[in-house]
Structure 1
Amino acid sequence: MAQTTCMRALKGTFVAGLALAAAGLITPARAQAQTTGSIFGFPPLGQPQAAPANGGHPLMTPQALAEAQANFPACIANLWPLAQSKGVSRRTFERYTANLEPQMKIMEFMDSQPEFSKPIGAYVNMLVTETRVKKGREILERYKPIFDRMEKAYGVDRYAVTAIWGIESTYGDPDGIGRRNVLESTATLACIGRRQDYFRDEFIATLQILEKGDVPYDHMKGSWAGAFGPTQFMPTSFQRFAVDFDGDGKRNVVDSIPDIIASTANNLKLDGWEFGKAWGYEVVLPQGFDYRNANRTIKRTLGEWNSMGLRRPSGVAFPRASDTAYLLLPAGANGPAFLMMKNFDAILKYNPADAYALAIGHLADRLRGGGTFVQSWPKEERGLSKAERQEIQSRLAQMGYDIGNVDGILGQKTRVAIQDYQVRSGALPDGYPDLQLLQQMRR
């Protein structure tokens, strides 16, 4: 299950994460720790269809790839000064780079895209399963003393950490973590293809990990993009967030359960996790609700949302009326509605996809004994393809809307433009892009 795409990175293994990107579910949030490994950390949904041979980028043409492959040894050698400046010894550099060979298969993964993506409800239901809930509760019981100590040290909810562990790799399953050599993967991407600038840092960070001996070389297995360990750290994310929690002098997020748990918690803490607070609440909207309030930039206190008629399905009051939240309709007006808190945004920084963050939050709630969502997801035949999402953006741009880049990633500008278009066309302005919206635009 080790597969993911990139806002600022590329990480995890490939199929479902790419589908998330293809679904336009990546948010504009800053991608930090697990940016790509996490997105690609979803279970496979089906076989991706091959992308055009050049991926639409000059560094991905057959000729450019062949030239970069031939130049690979020279490229690696030229990275020595940078490695040296980052504290890597000549001995370590030569030891681990002497026999490196480029893994050209990775180039196929980089630009592969599934033709159609599943709707967000299908992702959440597939990720939050009874099997994951059952195994996650066993993990929580087995490592209770470590979780107790982690919560005291970092102030991060044990259920959120366990949910990340479960969704990223099915609690450490080798197929979920990935089986590719991390140094080979990052070296290949640092010298070949369209993401060389980004992956040079990942390659150097991998050498730094080997220099310090935090993780043994033969244990650094991961996704095609270099994410490794049960909670899928990119090498640079490891450098920022990994901690030694078992006191052995090593930050081993592969073999040490205490280090895995605490490092993941430290990541969430530094991304703004607030202990003792929810990630969000499922809510029921009142009749006649103005769907233009479903906007990430509109934040109100829970008390204010309550005064507008938003209620939890159970009827239980919000525990802290002064907490602020924004309204998210991930599947439009026909699906569940949620008030999202700061902890949801912290999960988004771990992986900037609404589907991912929602699955993490929901699995965490299930692990602590909560139930399933009360409102059902709409029964959509399929999501939009990338070309269809780009068509929506292009048509909106032609109407004069500022939607940013026509890239198929439906960010806040596109959602607001859709809402305005829906108001003008007499539809519910929920900002949700689907086939019905596209068909209406084509008429």
Structure 2
Amino acid sequence: MHPLHFLPRLRFAQAALALAALAGCASTPPRPVPPSVAPAAVSPTIQPDSDAQALQLGFARWVDGFMASARAAGVDEATLHAAFDGVHYLPRVVELDRAQPEFTRTVWDYLDNTVSPQRIRLGQDKLLQVRAEADAAAARFGVPATILAAIWGMESNYGSNYGNIPTIDALATLGFEGRRADWARGQLMAALQILQNRDIDRAHMVGSWAGAMGQTQFLPSNFLAYAVDADGDGKRDIWGSMADVMASTANFLARSGWQADQPWGTEVQLPPGFDVARADSSVRQPSGQWAAEGVQTMDSTPLPMLPDAELLLPAGARGPAFLVGPNFRAILRYNNSTSYALGVSLLAQRLGNGPAVQAPWPRDLQALTRSQLQALQTALNARGFASGTPDGMMGPATREGIRSFQRSVGLPADGYPDVGLLDTLGVK
């Protein structure tokens, strides 16, 4: 199909669809249909400006080229037409992809929101409603129902809001825009395979602006790898079938290293004088060895049996400490964010009537902005404490650079960035 064949539809519908498709509306099972939007009425005397016209023509050509690649890869014509007849470029998706927020959140601010009393109460009610499906998935894959419910709660607030942006449109936009072109092309090809398999139709294949889909937000490639038809209807439906939602999420974790006989971890207290630099993902050992070093549970009961446990200090030496094992790392493979994995773990614990975090958070500490962290990285590098490229992003190199500097001035080497370090380094 020549790109100009569908260019007018793309151009005239762009403004209305971008606003409607990106509005955050709630979605509840079974299978919500995103709101239909008629093309915007445009006066024939009003011509689009040349930049907008060039962009739409470029997008149309990109789609045409992608369709040729997909056809060569074995995607059938019916699927290609279902996916791309009327496909839309979504400017807001590009804006969100390029956005890098200057302000970051502390882990306690994040947990205040994600493990709030309201979310705990709602989650306990929701878990009762899907108990049969969650228990069936737990029995089949060895992942507790509370963990599955916690991910459900974190990803879509228990199915109430998992996005209504058409996945094909979002991924085509990202592929054309180019910042993550190879990634987006791969995900778009996977989305076409899902359509061709008839697991879902295009109208119901909706999710976030970044292409994550359904009630527990699977990328298309993860859907192909892990989604499960648990209700036996011949389709893997993570939008409307709670049996499929729970089983697919459990399968993801099970195949990411979840150990059925182990907890995610536990909050612990460290002995006086403990070297906090050992709270690092590179330092793993049996929980018995940690116990021999004086690490204890908050209620002095024996530490859970974890063969390769690591210590986690998400707020530095002044905040709570956690001993975590393989199941915590499996959650990280679902979303590679320590705050996210801790949020899932703690929410699951609370859904099962377990304790909240007991040690106080250092709420007087302020999170560094990206600019401040970049200034910190620059100052550390200038003083010979290698912290990687100054990019305003926290990573292993920056953490090790902070630790080296902290040791040099007699501070606890927890690798945690705070405003006090900027002051010590003389950064204004």
The answer for the alignment partner of 2:330 in structure 1 is 346
The answer for the alignment partner of 2:213 in structure 1 is 228
More divergent stretch after superposition (392-401 vs 121-130): 392-401
The answer for the alignment partner of 1:294 in structure 2 is 279
Q: Which amino acid aligns with 2:407?
A: V
The answer to whether residue 368 in structure 2 is matched with residue 384 in structure 1 is yes
The answer to whether residue 424 in structure 2 is matched with residue 440 in structure 1 is yes
Query: What secondary structure is seen at the aligned counterpart in 1 of 2:322?
Result: strand
Q: Which amino acid aligns with 1:393?
A: Q
| Whole-Å separation in 2 of the counterparts to 1:275 and 1:66 | 56
| Whole-Å separation in 2 of the counterparts to 1:333 and 1:90 | 59
Q: Is the 8 A contact 2:115 2:346 kept in 1?
A: yes
The answer for the alignment partner of 2:38 in structure 1 is none
Alignment partner of 1:125 out of 112, 125, 134: 112
The answer for the alignment partner of 1:367 in structure 2 is 351
The answer for the alignment partner of 2:309 in structure 1 is 325
Q: Which amino acid aligns with 1:338?
A: F
TM-score, normalization: structure 1?
Answer: 0.82
The answer to whether residue 228 in structure 2 is matched with residue 255 in structure 1 is no
Over aligned residues, Cα RMSD in angstroms? 2.1
User: Would you identify which runs of 4 or more consecutive aligned residues in structure 1 move more than 6 Å?
Assistant: 63-66
What is the 5 A alignment of 1:89-238?
A: 89-173=76-160, 176-238=161-223
Query: What secondary structure is seen at the aligned counterpart in 2 of 1:177?
Result: coil
What is the Cα deviation at residue 415 of structure 1? 1.1
| Whole-Å separation in 1 of the counterparts to 2:340 and 2:73 | 33
What is the Cα deviation at residue 309 of structure 1? 1.1
The answer for the alignment partner of 1:25 in structure 2 is none
Which whole-Å deviations, capped at 9, do the CAs of 1:190-214 have from their partners, x for residues lacking one? 1114111110111122222111221
What is the Cα deviation at residue 85 of structure 1? 4.0
Q: 1:207 and 1:435, CA in 2 relative to 1: closer, same or farther beyond 3 A? A: same
Q: Is the 8 A contact 1:329 1:337 kept in 2?
A: yes
What is the 5 A alignment of 1:42-121?
A: 68-121=55-108
What is the Cα deviation at residue 399 of structure 1? 2.5
Q: Is the 8 A contact 2:349 2:355 kept in 1?
A: yes
What is the Cα deviation at residue 223 of structure 1? 1.1
Q: Is the 8 A contact 1:386 1:408 kept in 2?
A: yes
Q: Which amino acid aligns with 1:90?
A: E
| Whole-Å separation in 2 of the counterparts to 1:431 and 1:214 | 46
Which whole-Å deviations, capped at 9, do the CAs of 1:250-278 have from their partners, x for residues lacking one? 01110111000000011101110111311
Larger Rg: 2
Q: Is the 8 A contact 1:301 1:324 kept in 2?
A: yes
Q: Is the 8 A contact 2:287 2:304 kept in 1?
A: no
Query: What secondary structure is seen at the aligned counterpart in 2 of 1:283?
Result: strand
Q: Which amino acid aligns with 1:92?
A: T
Q: Is the 8 A contact 1:68 1:191 kept in 2?
A: no
Q: Which amino acid aligns with 2:273?
A: G
Q: Is the 8 A contact 2:265 2:304 kept in 1?
A: no
| Whole-Å separation in 2 of the counterparts to 1:386 and 1:209 | 38
Q: 1:336 and 1:350, CA in 2 relative to 1: closer, same or farther beyond 3 A? A: same
The answer for the alignment partner of 1:285 in structure 2 is 270
Q: 1:66 and 1:308, CA in 2 relative to 1: closer, same or farther beyond 3 A? A: farther
Q: 1:178 and 1:380, CA in 2 relative to 1: closer, same or farther beyond 3 A? A: farther
| Whole-Å separation in 1 of the counterparts to 2:212 and 2:111 | 22
Q: 1:355 and 1:139, CA in 2 relative to 1: closer, same or farther beyond 3 A? A: same
The answer for the alignment partner of 1:31 in structure 2 is none
Q: 1:157 and 1:187, CA in 2 relative to 1: closer, same or farther beyond 3 A? A: same
Alignment partner of 1:394 out of 378, 383, 388: 378
What is the Cα deviation at residue 14 of structure 1? 12
Q: Is the 8 A contact 1:418 1:433 kept in 2?
A: yes
TM-score, normalization: structure 2?
Answer: 0.85
| Whole-Å separation in 2 of the counterparts to 1:292 and 1:65 | 54
| Whole-Å separation in 1 of the counterparts to 2:52 and 2:112 | 39
The answer to whether residue 409 in structure 2 is matched with residue 425 in structure 1 is yes
Which whole-Å deviations, capped at 9, do the CAs of 1:159-207 have from their partners, x for residues lacking one? 111100001111001xx31121111111111111411111011112222
What is the Cα deviation at residue 73 of structure 1? 0.8
| Whole-Å separation in 1 of the counterparts to 2:194 and 2:330 | 26
What is the Cα deviation at residue 405 of structure 1? 3.0
What is the Cα deviation at residue 113 of structure 1? 2.9
What is the Cα deviation at residue 426 of structure 1? 1.5
